Structure 1
Amino acid sequence: MIGWRLPANLLGTTEAAERAGARVREIHSMLTATDPDTGERYGVDEPELLLWVHCAEIDSCLHVLRRSGFPLTDAQADRYLAEHRVSARLVGLDPAAVPASRAELAAYFEKARPELAAGPEARAVDDFLLRPPTHPLLVPAREVLWRRVAQLAYAALPPYAHELYGRPAPAPAAVTRRLKGTGAMLRRVPARVRWQLPPKHILRAMARLGPEARPAPYKVGL
């Protein structure tokens, strides 16, 4: 559901975002899970769980964007986090309880880290993302293309995440070089090509906002 709600929250109309948020809250209210240690059943819409997903998601986007060489200042990063309290509200969180700056986000992760663990579900997702189900004829392409993308994404995880998965963390400098190289390559794709690729709802959102709203590094300071 997280991947589905992001486009509507970020690139849809206010009404579409509110509808998407209501739908996510409705679905979450019907879902439960079981604590593997205690056997206790709990709802997936518990605030602590929603807050973790929100913070991990937003931090990942911001972290990779800056690490890939996009010129975002600290003040702009804080603004990005503060503005995302709106998306947090849409999934059922109290915006006042959501980190609104880099300092608040760092404090949240410092507090949450002792409670983290890589259980069977996390390892199943890990395996799925590295080796998603693919038609047999496409397996070679998956190994050549997708596996490299997935490995770079996992390499960008913070050191404590690698520790939880029980594998050594790659050298940060090497990962940063790969992210910068990938970011530079993608940002060199001509605009006339790049803007033919997004899904239609993104193109409609950009059309509503006008051509000046298209993101570009040189516009960040505006």
Structure 2
Amino acid sequence: MDSSTGAAPGLRERLGSAVFARVAGPAGPENRARIHGTPGPRWFGPDRPIRTVHGDASMFIGGLRALLLQSLHPLAMAAVEAHSGYRGDPWGRLQRTSTFLAVTTYGTADHAQQAVDRVRAVHGTVRGTTPAGEPYDASDPHLLGWVHVAEVESFLLAHRRFGAEPLDAAGYDGYVADTAHVAEALGVIDPPRSRAELVARLGSYRAELRSTREAREAARFILLHPPLPWAARAPYAVLAANSVAALPRWARTSLDLPRLSGVGEACVTPTGRALTTAIRWAMAPARQASRSAAPG
């Protein structure tokens, strides 16, 4: 059926609105209008790779992978466990994160800086000790660096695998360089600016990563017990399976996640492509409206 006739437009609008409401929250329409409609200079122009990656449905899989990978740093996990409220308000946390990404990627430079300032103020209050007695501080540039590189690698990998418009090598290097601008604003010292630097920086954290009870419990909550209506459980399971399949084997083992054979991964990936294509289709009208509202 032609998507411009019959029932398809109504179905697309309903699905797109449901996804947007879940990810962006009650203030989503207002935030979208402010982000895309406010005139002024941006940190990133319309041709920058960060806009291509962060505007794609592959972010749903990349975001889940990032949360799982980030949990393997015991200091980062302890901070999340004690201060984020991810169990009591998981959607609120998702909505705050998605709004931050949208503002810093597409919003005016002033709004992006204000968003960064708010996050840094919150980080300044997040301190404590792990169950093993190790002190953590969310403003620690080294810890911020881990959260950053785990996130960037996850978004990049998911986009390469599931993105509608995969970038070339220079484009993905550009994406890493774009994200470095945001990372520096948040307090990361000398973040990576190319894929080679990203791989090297990730490797430098490997000795600090380990399985903890908190990380394993967080993985079970994220993957098996999401606060979703039953109708949304099957699509979410596809996202979850693909986020697990995208993890390195050592990370799956550390989180007690099932090991997939090469054949198993080959079977999972097409479901991820199909679902991200469906999400992309459902969200297309909202993206077109955002682009038409954006200045310049």
Does the TM-score normalized on the shorter chain lie above 0.5?
yes
Q: Displacement of 1:5 after TM fit?
A: 1.9
Are residues 1:51 and 2:145 paired?
A: yes
Residue 168 of structure 1, CA deviation: 4.4
Q: CA deviation at 1:7?
A: 1.4
Q: CA RMSD in A?
A: 2.7
Divergent runs of 4+, >6 A: 188-191
Cross-structure match for 1:110: 203
- Deviation at 1:21? 0.1
Instruction: Write out aligned runs for 1:34-113 (5 A).
Output: 34-37=129-132, 39-68=133-162, 70-94=165-189, 97-113=190-206
Partners of 2:232 and 2:153 in 1: how far apart? Answer: 27
In the alignment, is residue 194 of structure 1 matched against residue 283 of structure 2?
yes
- Structure 1's 204 and 129: CA in aligned 2 closer, same or farther, altered over 3 A? same
Secondary structure in structure 1 of the residue aligned to 2:139: coil
- 1: CA distance, partners of 2:274 / 2:237: 20
Is the 1:29–1:44 Cα contact (8 Å) retained in structure 2? Answer: yes
Letter in structure 1 aligned against 2:238? R
Tell me what 1:23 maps to: 118
Q: Deviations over 1:48-72 (max 9, x none)?
A: 1100111011110100111226432
For normalisation by structure 2, the TM-score amounts to: 0.59
Higher relative contact order (CA 8 A, sep 6+): 2
- Over 3 Å counting, the alpha-carbon distance change for 1:79 and 1:177 in structure 2 is farther
1:159 aligned onto 2:249? yes
What amino acid is the match of 1:146? Y
- Mark the CA change 1:176 to 1:108 in structure 2 (over 3 Å): closer, same or farther: farther
Deviations 1:140-196 (A, max 9, x none): 3344232222122122112221121134432356435643553366447786x5333
Match of 1:171 in 2: 261
Instruction: Give the whole-Å Cα distance in 2 for the aligned partners of 1:197 and 1:178.
Output: 28
Deviation at residue 88 of structure 1 after TM alignment: 0.2
* Percent identical: 32
Task: Give the superposition deviation at 1:33.
Answer: 3.1
Equivalences, count = 199
1:33–1:43 CA contact under 8 A, matched in 2: yes
Rounded Cα–Cα distance in structure 2 between residues aligned with 1:190 and 1:166: 31
C-alpha distance 46-3 of structure 1, shift in aligned 2 (>3 A)? farther
The equivalent residue for 1:215 is none
| 3-state SS in 2 of match to 1:169 | coil
Matched, 1:207 2:296: no
Give the secondary structure class of the aligned counterpart of 1:132: coil
Deviation at residue 19 of structure 1 after TM alignment: 0.3
* Cα distance change on mapping 1:87 and 1:206 into 2, 3 Å: farther
SS of the residue aligned with 1:157? coil
> Structure 2: how far apart are the matches of 1:119 and 1:93?
25
